[in-house]
Amino acid sequence: MKLQRKNRLRALSLGAVAVSGALALTACGSDDTGKKTTDGSSSSTSASSIKCDGAKGQLLADGSSAQKNAIDAWVKSFSQACGVQINYKGGGSGAGVTAFTQGQVAFAGSDSALKPEEVTASKKVCSGGQGIDLPMVGGPIAVGFNVPGVDNLVLDAPTLAKIFDSKITNWNDPAIKKLNPSAKLPDLKIQPFHRSDESGTTDNFTKYLIATTPDNWKYSGGKAWQAKGGQSAPQSAGVAQQVKQTSGAIGYFELSYVSDGIKPVSIDTGASKPVAPSTESATADIAAAKVVGTGKDLSLQLDYKTKAEGAYPITLVTYEIVCDKGNKADSLPATKAFLRYIASEDGQKALSGIDYAPVPAEIIAKVRTTIEGLS
């Protein structure tokens, strides 16, 4: 089974390279690991099912590296159907929001909703409108580890907080032993890795720690890492690469970056069994999300403190950020067509095959309606 999976991913990777070369889809600052950019079903989306509606030219976009693998899969299908070149840099949520508020991109991806000051800044580039958040990609934030001789690891919020705040520094610490009584934990230094760039993944990971163990995580949170100690790397791919090549390492990144050499931590949430990160366990948590945005903004509130059976608590939702009004006339048709496709049933179906969670039906229906009203 494992060999078949590797062969399938190798074939898809070669196919993706050929397509990207033909379309000249550059991705400066790409966060792509080359792990898996699509699966058999998503790559074969029928061109007739994608409505191009006058889309042409090229689109520039930047933002969340967590959704980079999803964007790559979507771009492949959309570009084949409509001939539009899309350059999504994947430089991180902070870079994406900055590029959007400076009018450098048609849309941005962010794992955190726009802050009030960012909405204000967006009004300068959205003539007569403002930037809005459209939830498009869900998924778990995996905590990946590389500890020789350990294949399964359970951690809880207090222990995670102490590890990433350099309060627990060795893998055979009593707190880790208590959660893993049958594991052969080595006398090995813990090497925690965090993001060096401003990241919505960091924001959501620390929101989980703040919500669940405030006594052990006394930082205010946000896109920039605040705790002392540890080591850093840029974007999800950079953190994953460091964990993969460093004995004793642990880090956080979107599930699609978990690969050979990295194993995911299961989280003790207080439910009857620890929960591993997966599309299904993330969907169980995201399904309880509430829309808290106003007007056309559809930002969500996630439940980081869930104890529901089978619900993974460290999740994120990536938003596509776009002007509700005042989009540039030359890029609006392509922007709407691309967003319409990725919010469609076909676009959302593609996610589950590449370790992402589709947005719940009730919420994605609102997203589709909002996209049609963009101007």
* C-alpha torsion angle, residues 82, 87, 88, 89 (rounded to 10): 170
Per-residue model confidence as pLDDT tens digits over 143-201: 999 999 999 999 999 999 999 999 999 999 999 999 999 999 999 999 999 999 999 99
Alpha helices by DSSP H, the chain: 2-23, 40-43, 68-82, 93-101, 116-122, 157-164, 174-179, 200-212, 235-245, 279-286, 332-343, 345-349, 361-372
Is 294 strand, coil or helix? coil
> Does the pLDDT value for residue 46 go beyond 90?
no
Residue 48 — pLDDT band, cuts 50, 70, 90? low
Single-letter code of the amino acid located at 31: D
| pLDDT score for 9 | 37
Question: How many CA atoms within 13 Å lie on the side-chain side of 350?
Answer: 29
Contact criterion met (CB below 8 Å) for 71 and 89: no
Percent of the chain with pLDDT over 90: 83
Sign of CA dihedral 226, 229, 233, 237: negative
Alpha-carbon distance of 8 to 38, in angstroms, equals: 10
Confidence of residue 45 (pLDDT cuts 50, 70, 90): low
pLDDT in tens, 313-371: 999 999 999 999 999 999 999 999 999 999 999 999 999 889 899 999 999 999 999 99
pLDDT in tens, 227-238: 999 999 999 999
pLDDT at 16 over 70: no
Rg of the chain over Cα atoms, rounded to whole angstroms, equals: 20
pTM of structure? 0.81
Amino acid at 249: A
Instruction: For the chain, give the percent of residues with pLDDT over 70.
Output: 87
pLDDT, tens digit (0-9, with 9 covering 90-100), for 54-105: 899 999 999 999 999 999 999 999 999 999 999 999 999 999 999 999 999 9
Beta-carbon count within 10 A of 99 CB = 20
